[in-house]
Amino acid sequence: MNLLVELFVEELPPKALKKLGESFATVLADSLKAQGLAAADAAVTSFASPRRLGVHVAGVAAKAADKAVQQKLMPVAVALTADGQATPALLKKLASIGAGPEALPQLKRQPDGKAEALFWDSLQPGATLAQGLQKALDETLAKLPIPKVMTYQLADGWSDVKFVRPAHGLVALHGSEVVPVQALGLTAGRTTRGHRFEAAQPEVSIESADSYAAQLRDQGAVIASFAERRAEISRQLKGAADALSLTPIDDEALLDEVTALVERPNVLTCAFEAEFLAVPQECLILTMKANQKYFPLLDNAGKLTRHFLVVSNIAPADASAVVQGNERVVRPRLADAKFFFDQDRKKKLEDRLPGLAKVVYHGKLGSQGERAERVRSIAHAIVNQLSMATLPYTVEADDEFKVLDSKVKQAASLAKCDLLTDMVGEFPELQGIMGGYYARHEGLRDGVAIAIEDHYKPRFAGDTLPRNHTGTVVALADKLETLVGLFGIGQLPTGDKDPFALRRHALGVIRILVEKNLPLDLPALIDAAVPPFGELVTNPRNGLLGFFADRLAVSLRDQGYSAQEVDAVLALSPARLGDVPRRLEAVRAFAALPEAASLAAANKRVGNILKKVEGELPTEVKSELLQEAAEQALAAAIADVQPGADLLFEQHDYTGSLKALAALKAPVDAFFDDVMVNAEDPALRANRLALLGRLHAAMNRVADLSRLAT
């Protein structure tokens, strides 16, 4: 028969409901399975609404099967006397498990390591459902991911209970029979409550485990399943938006939260006054989502319209009062946003600069004003590095790098000024975005306004990158300032704790360097970011490079590159991250060659030989000391292949460079077959080591090919 458990509570925290529901169902079902009361593949259905957590488990037994158990008692040498009689120690042990001397013939002697021991075979009775469910329920409540525990008093007026919210009902049905379990001062029954306002009757008596969801829907006006309720909201949102030829904003977190707020959703269409559309749409969208849990509607161009959708928890015959109420509630919020926007534009960003000196950034790193100066200095250094890059970097101006430097300095100076505006004070999520709006209002160069808006990008995984060169440089400078500053004072992430989002900042730097293929060396960027701090920090170069390498390795594996491929490329610690994707593709192409496995194994062997060399590795290969035909052939092959491979490498044709090395397979194999590297003659040995050193250097410019050896 199937099992249904429901805990009826007061309104649960909406942002936690989804996890609470999943945990309640999973932990309880897993415990039943572990006790043998449910099959390992038993179907489990989770229920979670604002006022209930529940689970339906298919095929639950009334009693678990008895289980054969073998228990080790003690070594034979301790248990039996020399004539085979039971010692007092054995008799005491038998008594502790409910057996007497008559059990001696049933004991088994079996090897236990180097000695023998006595074992007792018994049949352990399976748990009854009442016992097993009580244990499962206790475990489940103890393991719930409760964000904040409440303490409340039970009806007796004396007992206290700690739980996420006060609980008022417990249902436990095995088929149609109540399972006598208890939790949180409640005794299980079959009665629950439906919707506060829409239910046909205040209480719903559940007939059986399988009728629970249908009865709650029909009699209680509640969709108990979180997933079904979420799907119903999505369906209604789309239908209401389609009726207006508009699109609801896509926000999975908002959809989850609204699903956790209603038991029977009813989507209604509302509207606000068109005058509010003069305010930046990001402000309006944020206030509607964050404060009211509304779904703004966008037109085909992605522009905000005056219409929005409300997910109501009631469905009156005439919904006009609900619509008007929501329209009335949102109006002051939008009016506040308009007021903030109008007030903020009365003061220029530049006039707010002195105020940044009064805003603390970090106790050891000074104010936001000092931080802005550091970002400005780092950004200037990045422009200088770009202007001197070996690879050409084209920017969008006649007097290119001077103009870029001017824009970068201006954007970096003003980028944090919107932190002092009323709008960002109310909605911190809009920092950067509002700075861009205010910069355009002041008539600043569009490239500067875009850079101010984009300098936080990428803000999260999958976010877009800065749109122009100015924004790219300022975003890099901003992230490097954060990383160098906090690493430089020892504020490193630990485990899952990363209060300053340094992992996200590092991934942002990596994405910008890689996806924009910037001709910048990461170590040089870190070094350029240190001087603006003066004596505040110590140079964290080595620690930061390791941190970047770890983040990059994780990112590349997530993109589908194998651990071997990533390891081979990152083993060389490439300074220019923009080269990494091309190196990876080259390694992948090389690994597909028939010669790859042999060359990788040979490269690993060469590396091991060279590691054992004491002192300085010989570098000069003397042709007159090349005695064996195989070593002469290898030297000739290297001399023939290396120039072309090196030229392709310098041209950043890494795939071509590695493929050129395939010609070395035969001479390398012959060398190891026919030549003794560690010759007795020191001169011959040194010459052969120098030859292997040249081979190793030629093979490992793109990646450490030995990492591909299996």
- Which secondary structure element, helix H or strand E, spans residue 174, and what is its range? strand 167-174
Lowest mean pLDDT among 133-147, 280-294, 379-393, 573-587: 379-393
> Exposure of 260 by Cβ count < 10 A (0-12 exposed, 13-18 middle, 19+ buried)?
buried
pLDDT in tens, 508-518: 999 999 999 99
Q: What is the rounded average pLDDT of the residues 25-32?
A: 97
The predicted structure's pLDDT at residue 399 = 56
- Among 456, 466, 463, 462, CA closest to 430: 456
Tell me the H-state helices in 559-621. Answer: 563-570, 580-591, 596-611
Sequence-ordered list of residues with C-beta below 8 angstroms from that of 263, at least 6 positions apart, any chain: 49, 50, 51, 195, 221, 222, 223, 229, 313
Q: How confident is the model at residue 93 (pLDDT cuts 50, 70, 90)?
A: confident
pLDDT in tens, 397-413: 545 788 889 999 999 99
Q: What is the pTM of this model?
A: 0.82
Residue 60 pLDDT > 60: yes
Q: Provide the percentage of residues in the chain whose pLDDT is more than 70.
A: 99
Calculate the average pLDDT of the chain. Answer: 92
pLDDT in tens, 201-228: 889 999 999 999 999 999 999 999 999 9
Lowest mean pLDDT among 3-17, 117-131, 484-498: 117-131
Residue 395 pLDDT > 70: no
| Helix, strand, coil shares, percent, the chain, to 5 | 55, 15, 30
The predicted structure's pLDDT at residue 177 = 96
- Which secondary structure element, helix H or strand E, spans residue 238, and what is its range? helix 226-243
Q: Provide the percentage of residues in the chain whose pLDDT is more than 90.
A: 72
* Residue 373 CA from chain centroid, whole number: 32
Separation of alpha carbons 223 and 232, rounded Å? 9
Q: What is the rounded average pLDDT of the residues 657-667?
A: 91
Residue 392 pLDDT > 80: no
Q: What is the rounded average pLDDT of the residues 486-490?
A: 94
- Among 374, 464, 467, 362, CA closest to 415: 374
The predicted structure's pLDDT at residue 398 = 47
Other CB atoms within 10 A of residue 277 CB: 16
Q: How confident is the model at residue 618 (pLDDT cuts 50, 70, 90)?
A: confident
Separation of alpha carbons 444 and 413, rounded Å? 13
The predicted structure's pLDDT at residue 685 = 87
Contact call for residues 552 and 580 (beta carbons, < 8 A): yes
pLDDT in tens, 309-349: 999 999 999 999 999 999 999 999 999 999 999 999 999 99
